[in-house]
Structures are given as structure tokens and as C-alpha cells.
Amino acid sequence: MNRRPFDPRLLRRVPAARRDLAVLAVLGGLTALLVIAQATALATVLATAFDGRLHRPALAGFVAAVAGRALVSWAQGTVAARAAATVKAALRADLLGAVGRHGPTWVAGQRAGQLATLAGRGLDALDPYFTGYLPQLVLSVTVPVAVLARIVFADWSSALIIALTIPLIPIFGALLGWQAQAATERQWRRLSLLGGHFLDMVAGLPTLRAFGRSKGQVDVVRRMADGHRQATMKTLRIAFLSALVLELVATLSVALVAVPVGIRLLGGGLTLSTALLVLLLTPEAYLPLRAAGSRFHASMEGLTALDEALTLSATDAPATTGPVTAAEPRRPAPAGRGEIRFEGVTVAYDRTTALRDVTLTIRPGDRVAIIGPSGAGKSTLLNLLLGFVAPTSGRVTADGVDLSGVDLDAWRRELAWVPQRAHLFAGSLADNIRLGAPDTPDAALAAAVTGAALDEVVDALPDGLDTRLGERGHGLSSGQRQRVALARAFLRDAPVVLLDEPTARLDSASEAVVLDATRRLVAGRTALLVAHRPALLAAADRILRVEDGRVTELHATATGPAVPR
Amino acid sequence: MTAGDGVTPVGREPAGPTGVPVAPSGSPEPPAPARPGAERAVLRLARPYLSRLLGAGLLAAATEFAGLALMATATWLLMSAAGRPPLDRLTVAIVAVRALAVSRGVFRYTERLAGHDAVLRMITDVRARVFATLAARRETGRRTGDALSRLVSDVEAAQDLLLRVLVPGAAAALVSVLAVGVAALISPPAAGVLAIGLLVAGVALPALATRITRRAADEVAPLRGALAVDAVDLTHGAADLAAFGATGAALAAADERAGRLARLERRLAATGFAVDALGVLVGGLTAAAVVVVALRAGVGGVLVGVLAVGSLAAVEVALALVAAARQRTQLRAGLARVADLLTEPPTATPQTTAEPGTDGHDVRFSDVTVRYRAGAAPALAGFDLDLPAGRRVAVVGPSGAGKSTLAAVLTGAVRPDTGRVTAGGVPVSEIPAEHLPRVVGGLLAEAYVFHATVKENLLLGRPDATEADLVDATRAAGLLDWVREQPDGWDTVVGEQGGQLSGGQRQRLALARALLAAPPVLVLDEPTEGLDPAAADAVLDSALAATPAGHSVVLISHRLSGLAGLDEIVVLEGGRVGQRGRHDELVALPGWYREQWLRQEAAERGYLAITP
């Protein structure tokens, strides 16, 4: 909770926001001046009205000041929203750009989810921070200072009261905030247990129904919800106390200022317009601080998102995987038809070593199956060729050219990759197959579809190849997804094919279809197949076993029985 | 000048003037059209707490009024003092100023407690009602985690409707009326001017804000949704994009969309904040007009001051309605979903006099067809099956052959489109939902483990089970040793959604619960999923052994191992019975079963050959 209200990294990372924030500060100063102008004009109007006269210039001044405040508040909101939009767009570009810079290995796993949430909707939580909190934060500095300065000239004793009480707001706010937080944390376990209960019950409804207990649980849900209410109320009693104290400080200060001023007026020690000015200005001094305090809570989520985004996009790729970008001009890529050699390759990750001193040669046209327990380093072999991972030591060459330092995009054009679980993108089925080659002619697309045995799938879809797939390819079964991935590989028509357990998650019927397509795909190409099921081995003419980071070649005679078909 | 507000720990963020609600992270919101009766349906549940809510509303009004009165009285005090009256004529005002200063804070505190108390009571009812509605449904679609958390936040929308829209809105309206009334006592023309100002601030501007907020949300939401999808594609699909050289194009597309969103947001902000600016203007203009009108009407100088300062404060109070209107717009989708649940007509449970007998649990499928979507291939197509009481049958077949649909139809979760399923001669669909599990049930797909103790989870199967029963069931499921190892034994709490358990333990717990329930027709849908082959064989054997003789068993399995002891094996293919017979017979015949059996066998042996 003890988060700084402003993250200075923001200015370094998003220089475009500097100007907007500077304008916001200027507008904050302008607001303070207008507050004083408005109060002065109104005080004059009312002091004159005391005698039953209308002070027209002062009234005009008052209206002008109000119009000015309206304009400035509009500008403040607009500029703040502009800043929010600029910052969000810049951070989004940063976050997503980091994906391109660091490569897929960096993104994999938990980080992918975090990045997707942040770059998606997470950053939108910055809106309340920028449009609600930040302008008030500026005002809570400029307005009290300006108001105090003005009142010191008018009536220093009132200024003294204000100067002494204003600091109470942040101090009490912080003290009570801690107090409330401690109390909240004491209740937290209980609250989360109770709050989670409703979710738990709804999630488990099918099971409750299966045992005929669903109706009996309604009372339990009610009882637990009631417990939740009581626990919440206990917390709120303390949490609202802080609001009470802040409210009291602000309103009592008005009374503390107004009553002595009234009594001094009675004694003639003060003019009416000065007294009114002090009265009108006093609440203005407290308002921005309280408003900022009340909006801090709502902007917490935004601050958290900001912190995560700034931290994430500043993360460097781990040294072991090396820079895998194709940003700077690199050496031209070798042809995929040449010999591929691993020369003493070791790949070490943070905690484990995936490959140890691997040396092997893959001749053009070899169909190599790679087997071994999961986690042994099978996928790392493919990732090295794909350039997702760079060797910690040793080198990988193709046609005699070291792959580190070549133009990776060009090199990858020599490869077709079928991952364990292909990602399907939001878009049409055709777009998904044409990934990386959007201008493919229809005939080539149709050939790839046929090659991957996707024809029947396409025919069953309402709009055929133009059917739009839901998020992450929802609507297709795992077997169908793998065939889409195979179709991508067919379309790529590359000399080297890399298949990472393409049938790992399929049932036998889908496996058979995918296997047939796989055999067609590898015919006449160099192929590396990570295999889990023996059925895939039949398509290979060499078998490598990876265990504990070391690679050994098995002889074809030891491959066991052919799989009956 | 009285708009300040303290922390509000409960509820979501207020809608900003950009008016674009910050949706909970996750997949795009499904479209929920605004539903006219939604608020009324939710508010009907507030009726029992009406007096509490009324009290909270009055306290809220008192808070705002105290703030207004504080400034007006202080002005009266100062301007009267300027006329140098004797001090005792001011004492009442002095006391009033001090009292109002204290009471505003106290009112605010009690208002918040009263309001939250009433609303949380109502939310308790909403939760219970929502749960009851869901529980009364006989058939359920699967709910994703997103849909679940949305349900929880939708329920909170009902809370926000009262706490952030209705109570503050009603208080602002009441104070406005009071302010006009008091002003009318001083000067009717001035009161007229104030009324106009308040109508603009409290009616016209909120209406304008509502329109702008809606339009902004309609424009921004699709773009934000698309951007969220882009983000998912770029991160989860990073490897695919890189391998196919498509990263650059995808990044450019996402950047272009983010830029478009930023431009749209900037444009919308200009109109959104115009409403707030107008609010400031209305306040000042009202006060100025009141001064002019009051002076013309010959109102005394002191009261002109009171009217002017009071008008400024009153408009400020009325402007709270703008925030309430924005909030209300933001809530409509969630409220519509909750209202749908609250007003859902109870599922017509077929009245049945036909209590199923306790014996004679012959199960018969006759010509059962199930089609999930019109035009799609049927999941079950004219399926027939006779299952005399006490028979033990395995249902196998390729994925998508209809195995799970068969289990769902048998347990009443899915209603057949044509044909019928009977248990003991009574159609399953006519047996009341509470009775059915006593006849047909067991371990169904996606068995859920509750965040409760092991014992509580087990007792769901049979609430009156003795400890000996628990021991037998857990032993058969292979979980007993684990339970005994736990320091808390049966009272070990399994974490949220069984998170403290491994996948295998969770499956064993669910299986033990099904064995404890021991209905006459026991359905086991993939009971050994997530267990390694050796453990799977052992658990399947002990589970079948633990089922009382005379009870029927329908075992649904993708593994063909361990089926040799069953009375019959039914091979489902494309929603129909492809083959049937005992294991020995099926292995000898050409067909899916034999092929699959050899494949699975070869898979294990082939593996052994390569893995020394």
C-alpha cells in the first residue's frame, strides 16, 4: 500500500508524456489563481450587496473567474486523458515490442499471461489514475499554497489556523490508513475464505447436483454470505473512521476560522470583504487534499499495472539465451539444403542444463526421430535450430555457416515448424494457415489444406476457409488444430521440417490422420521429429535418444516393433 | 465545495468522465444488451431492507445538507457581524456553525455504515437467490473461470447500484429540493433561479453524461476487446509468429490498433470532460444570477450573501448526480445479467408420481439421439442399450464418439432430443432432480473438489457415512495412505479447487466420493484419468471390487487396460454402438477395439524396447 503517488520512471520511459504532465502542472497553478480570483470577486460582490448595491465589475469578474475555472478544468481533464492515452499506447508498444525483441523463450510460461493481461486490459486501469488522481495531486500542492499566501495577506491569524490544520489531513490519512490496513489484514484470511466460498459453490454446482445436494446448499451459501457481511462490516467500521476524521478536520477548520473572524468583525478589526474572502477560501484549501486521498484508492490498480509494465518492459533477456533479434544487419542466411551440424553445443538455463556438449551431423534428407524422457532437452534441439535459443557454448552451423549472427527471419524461411500445441490466432482459418505468407495464392492454400488432411474439417465449417476462429482457436479440436499447424508447414514448403511431438495430445483416431499427413510432409525433406509415441518412429530413418542433456544415436534395428496399422 | 469524499474500500472504481468502464481483465465481455427491467428486478430484493436504506439515504442527505448549511450559516454569521449587533444575537449562529461542522462528519460516518450494512444484507440475498437459480437448473453448460469471476463481479454491480447510484442520487435530489424550499422562504424569484440551476446540474447534465458515456463505451469496447485478443496472440503465439516470420506484421497491426484506441480516447475525453466543465459554469452562473435577482427583489444584504453561498454549495451537491449517472451506465451490463438470473422462471420440474423403486434398476436406452447444435453431427444417434441391474459394462470408443454424452444423458444432465432413457422403467427425465442421484450417479466428468476438508468433500457422497465407510471408500480409491499421512487426517483442508492436492490425489478423492455414494447404477467417467498406468490398473480393480454386488456399473474409459473382468464392453463409434462383447471376444475380431488394443499394447512395449 505504501506506494509512491508518482513513478518517476514514467518520465524516462514515456518522454512524450512529459509535455502533457508539464501542462497539467501549469493548469494546476492556473486553477489556484482562479480559485483566489473567484473568491475575491465573490467576497467583493457580497460585501457590496450588504449595502443593497450590486458591484457590477466584481460580478463580471466573478463570472469570468468561474468561466476560467470551467475552461481550465476541461483542459485539465482533456490533457490528463491525453497523457493517459499516450502513456498506455507507449507502454503497450513497449510491452509487445519486448516480445519481438526477446523472442519466444523469454515470453513463454507465466510471463505470457502477465504480458497479455497487462498489454490487453490491465493498462486501462491507468485511466482513473491519470484523469482522477494525478490532477488532484497537482491541485493539492498548488491550491493550498496559493490560498495560504492570499490569506496571510488578508488575515494572518486565520492563515495560521489553516497552516496548522492542513498537515493533519495527510498525517491522519496515513496513520488511519495504516490502522485500517492492519485491521483489514487481520480480517483478510477470513474474508477471502468467505468470499471465495460463493465462487467455490458455483464452480462446484455440477458436482453438488450430481450428488443431489445442490438445493441443500442454498442455506449454506446464505449463511456464509451473512458471515461475509458481518466480517466486512467489522472492517468498514475502522476503515470509515479515517474518512470521519478527515471530514472533521476540514469542517471544523471552517468553524475554527469563521467564528473568531465573526467576533473580530463585531469588534471592527476586519472588513467584511476580507472576512468573506477568508471564509470562502478556507474550504478550498482542504478540498484537493481530500479529493486526492479519496481517489488514491481507485487508482491503486492503475499504479500497480504501471509498476508491472515498467518493470517488465525493462527486463533484459537472460544472457544464456542471447540476443535473438534480427534487428541489426546480419550475415545472410545459409541454405536449408546444406548439412546441419551441432558442434559441442551446451545450453544452460537459469537452473538446469538442457544440453551438454552435443555434437551431431544431420545430412540433407535425413529423417531424424528424437526420443527421450520429457524435460531431457528434446525441444531445446529444435529451439536451437529455430534460433529461439542460442548455445551457451559451441555452435550450430548450416551449410557451414554459424547460425548465431545470421539473419534469423531469412534462416527461418528455410524451416517449417509444427509445435506440440500450435497457437491459432483470432482471424479466419485461411489467415491462420497463411501465417507469415499472407499473399499466398488460393491454389497453394488449397494444396496445403489437402496435404494436411484438413479438407473434411474445412467442409464442416460454416464458412469454410473463411470461418473466423475464436480467441486462441476455440471451436477446433486438438486434432484439427494440429492439422492446421501441418497445413502451415505444407504451405511453407521449406527444405527442413521440425516437428515437436505433433501427436502428443491426440487420441488414436486423430493421431492416425495426423501421422499420414506427417509422412507426406517429411517426404523428400530434412526432418527432425520429436517423438513420444512409437507410431511416429516409423516415419524416421535415424533415431536419436536425448537423456539428461546428452544425445546418443540408436541403431535402426533397436526401434522395436513396427506399429500395426 | 463539499464534494470531498473519503475512502470507499468496497465496490469498484467510479466511472471517470471519459466514461469508459474499466472492465475486469480477461477475455472480452460478452455483449449484454441493456435490459429495461434489470434495475427493478434487482431492487425488488432490496424491499426487506427498505427502512435501513431509507435511513441511509436520509443520513446521506443530512450530510450534504449539513455541509451546505455550514457555509450558509457561516456567511450569515459574518455578514450579520459586519452590522455590529450585540454578541448574543450571534451566539445561536456560532453554536450552529460549530454543531454543523461536527455533525457533517458524524452523519457521513453513520450514513456509510448504515448504507453498507443494508446493501450487504441485500447482497446476501442476491447471492443466495443467484445460487438457488443456478442450483435449480437441471442442465448446466460448463462455466469457465472467466464466467465465474464475472458472476461474482456482477453481483457486486447490484451493490454499486445502491451505494454509488441510488443512495447518493436520492440524497442529492432531496437536498436540492430542500435548498429550493428554503430559498423560496427568503425570496421566491431567487428560488426560481436556483431551481433552474439545479435542474440543469441535476437533470440535464446527468442525462448528457449518460449519453456520452454510453456512446464512448460503445465505441471503445470493441477496440479494447480486439486489442486484448492481439495481446493474447502476440504473447501466447510468440513462438508461432517468430517461426513463421510473422512477428513484425502482427506487432505492426497491434501497434496500429493501440494507436487508433489512443486517438479515440483522446477525442472522447474532450467531450466527456466538457460535462464537468459545464457543471462548474452552472454553479457560478447560478450564484451570480441569484445575487442579481435577489438584489432586484429587495432582499436584505445579509440574506443575499446566504443565498449566493448556499446556491454555490447546492449546485455542487446536485452535480453528484452526474457521477451517479456515469456509474449507472457502467453497471447496466452486469445488472442485466444478474436480473436475468433473478427473474429466471424456475425450471419446469416434471411432476412425477413415479418414485423409482429401490430395486429393479434396469437401465434402458431406446433410440436416443442427442444433437448439441442444429446441423451438427449428432453426439448420440439412435442409440440403444439394455443394462439389466447388476451388470458391469465398459463404454469405450474414439474421442468424440459420444461416451461423455452417454453419461450425461444417463445422469439427467442432458436431455435427449428423441428417444428415452429409463431407470427401473421410469424415464430418467421424470425422476426429480434430488432423487435421481440416489438411482444413477457417480464420478462424472470435471468432478469438483471443494475448498473444504477431505471429510466434508467425501460426505457429499453420503452425508450419514461412518468412519468405517470413509476408510473403505478411500482405500478402494487408493487415497487412504495419503489421508493417514496428513497431520490433520480427515480434517485436512484441500485448497481452493483442490489446489493442495496433486491431480492424481484429486481424482482419487472424487472417485472415493463416488464409491461412497454407491448408487445402484454407478457411472464412472474416466475414473483413472491423471494416474500413471500401473496406478490406474490398481485403482480400477479395487474400485470395481468395492462396488456392492447387484449394483450396475457403467465405466467410461479411453484406456482399454483392465477391462477383461467386465460383463460387456460397448464400443461407441459416431454416436452408435459399433461393436459389443467381452474383452476376449473383441480382441479376436477385426475392428476398432482390436486395432486400438494392439496399438496401446505396442505403445507400451515399443517404449520399453527403446527405453532400456
CB-closest option in B143, B235, B595 to A112: B235
Taking residue B228's Cβ as centre, other Cβ atoms within 10 Å add up to: 24
For each of chain A's 565 residues, which pLDDT tens digit applies?
445 778 888 888 888 889 999 999 999 999 999 999 999 999 999 999 998 899 999 999 999 999 999 999 999 999 999 999 999 999 998 888 888 788 787 777 667 777 888 888 788 888 889 998 999 999 999 999 999 999 999 999 999 999 999 988 888 777 766 666 666 555 555 555 555 677 778 878 878 877 877 777 888 888 888 887 887 888 778 778 877 888 888 889 889 999 999 999 988 888 999 999 999 999 999 999 888 877 877 777 788 888 888 888 777 654 434 444 444 556 788 887 889 999 999 998 777 788 999 999 999 999 998 887 666 778 889 989 998 888 999 999 999 888 888 888 889 989 999 987 788 888 889 999 998 888 889 999 999 999 888 888 888 777 888 888 765 555 677 778 888 999 999 998 899 999 987 776 566 667 778 888 888 888 889 999 887 666 677 778 888 888 888 888 886 544 444 333 3
pLDDT tier at B160 (50, 70, 90 boundaries)? Answer: confident
Is B155 a domain residue?
yes
- For A436, phi and psi rounded to 5 degrees? 80, -5
Interface test with B, best of A82, A124, A484 (most B CBs within 10 A): A124
Q: Are residues B557 and B590 in the same domain?
A: yes
Q: How crowded is residue B306: how many other Cβ atoms within 10 Å of its Cβ?
A: 26
> Which sequence spans correspond to the domains of chain A?
1-154+287-317, 156-269, 340-559
Q: Could you tell me if residue B541 is inside a domain?
A: yes
B127: which 3 cell numbers? 447471492
Least confident range of B50-59, B148-157, B222-231: B148-157
Integer Cα distance of B499 and B492 in angstroms: 13
Of B17, B475, B113, B383, the C-alpha closest to A74 is B17
Cα distance from A413 to chain B (closest Cα, Å)? 7
Instruction: Identify whether B605 is part of a domain.
Output: yes
- The rounded distance, in Å, linking the Cα atoms of B597 and A191 is 52
Q: Is the confidence metric ipTM above 0.95 for this complex?
A: no
Which residue do the cell numbers 495412505 mark? B481
The answer to whether A204 and B450 are in contact (CB under 8 A) is: yes
- Evaluate whether B465 touches A225 at the Cβ level (below 8 Å): no
B13, part of any domain: no
pLDDT, position A336? 78
Report whether pLDDT(B29) > 50.
Answer: no
- Does B213 share its domain with B313? yes
From the list A203, A243, A561, the residue facing B497 with the nearest CB is A203
pLDDT band for position B498 (50/70/90)? low
pTM for the model stands at 0.79
Domain range spanning residue B326? Answer: 38-136+143-342
* A56 compared with B340, residue with greater pLDDT: A56
Name the amino acid, one letter, at A301: E
Is residue A243 within 8 Å of B6, Cβ to Cβ?
Answer: yes
B112 occurs within a structural domain: yes
Task: Look at residue B261 in the predicted model and tell me its pLDDT.
Answer: 92
Give the pLDDT score at A181: 60
Confidence of residue B107 (pLDDT cuts 50, 70, 90): very high
The structural domain count of chain B equals 2
| Closest chain B residue to A274, measured at CA | B78
Q: Give the model's pLDDT for residue A559.
A: 44
Total length of chain B: 612
Nearest by CB to A66, which of B5, B125, B281? Answer: B281
Whether residue B574 is predicted with pLDDT greater than 80 in this model: the reply is no
Distance CA A93, CA A16 (A): 13
DSSP character string of B529-587: TTS-HHHHHHHHHHHHHHSPTT-EEEEE-S--TT-TTSSEEEEEETTEEEEEE-HHHHH
In this structure, what CATH number is given to the domain that contains residue B336? 1.20.1560.10
Shared-domain flag, residues B372 and B327: no
Confidence label for B30 from pLDDT (cuts 50, 70 and 90): very low
* Helix (H) or strand (E) run with residue B446 in it: none
- C-alpha grid cell, residue B447: 468432478
Cβ neighbours of A228 in B, within 8 Å: 120, 124
B460 to A218: CB separation less than 8 angstroms, yes or no: no
Whether residue B184 is contained in a domain is answered as yes
* Range from A510-524, B37-51, B73-87, B366-380 carrying the lowest mean pLDDT: B366-380
Chain B hits for A198, Cβ within 8 Å: 127, 131, 152, 155
Containing A550, the helix (H) or strand (E) segment is strand A550-554
Question: Residue A471: what pLDDT?
Answer: 56
- B153 compared with B63, residue with greater pLDDT: B63
Count, residues in chain A: 565
In a domain, B126, yes or no: yes
Task: Using CB atoms, pick whichever of B23, B232, B255 lies closest to residue A116.
Answer: B232
Are residues B492 and B454 in contact, defined by beta-carbon separation less than 8 angstroms? yes
Sign of CA dihedral A456, A462, A467, A469: negative
Cβ of B603 and A225 within 8 Å?
A: no
- Indicate if B202 and B282 belong to the same structural domain: yes
- Domain membership flag for residue B487: no
Chain B CB contacts of A210 below 8 Å: 411, 413, 437, 441-442, 444, 447
The label of the residue with cell 488532484 reads A136
Residue B160, all three cell numbers = 454499486
The answer to whether A103 contacts B136, with C-beta atoms less than 8 Å apart, is no
Contact flag A412-B243 (C-beta cutoff 8 Å): yes
Residue B88 vs residue B136, higher pLDDT: B88
- Backbone dihedral angles phi then psi of residue B396, each to the nearest 5 degrees: -125, 175
Test A386 with B4 for CB contact under 8 angstroms: no
Q: Which residues of A touch B295 (CB under 8 A)?
A: 49, 52-54
Domain CATH code at residue B551: 3.40.50.300
From the CA of A435, how many Å to the nearest CA of chain B?
Answer: 7
Q: Which of B89-93, B139-143, B381-385 has the lowest mean pLDDT?
A: B139-143
- Closest CB to A244 among B74, B105, B280: B105
Instruction: Reply yes or no on whether the pLDDT at B393 is more than 60.
Output: yes
Residue B26, pLDDT score: 37
Residues B316 and B397 both lie in one domain: no
Whether B286 and B391 map to the same domain: the answer is no
Q: What is the CATH number of domain A340-559?
A: 3.40.50.300
Q: Do residue B22 and residue A121 have CB atoms under 8 angstroms apart?
A: yes
Percent of chain B residues topping a pLDDT of 90: 33
Please calculate the CA angle A420-A422-A428 and round it to the nearest 5 degrees. Answer: 160
Subunit contact B135:A228, Cβ cutoff 8 A: no
pLDDT band at B25 (very low <50, low <70, confident <90, very high): very low
Chain B residues with beta carbon closer than 8 angstroms to that of A62: 284, 287-288
How high is the pLDDT of residue A29? 96
Rg of chain A, C-alpha, whole Å: 35
Query: Shortest Cα distance from A394 to chain B (angstroms)?
Result: 23
Residue A422: partners with Cβ closer than 8 Å, 6 or more residues away: A481, A482, A484, A485, A488, B240
State residue A75's pLDDT score: 96
First to last CA, chain A: 64
Q: What is the pLDDT of residue A41?
A: 97
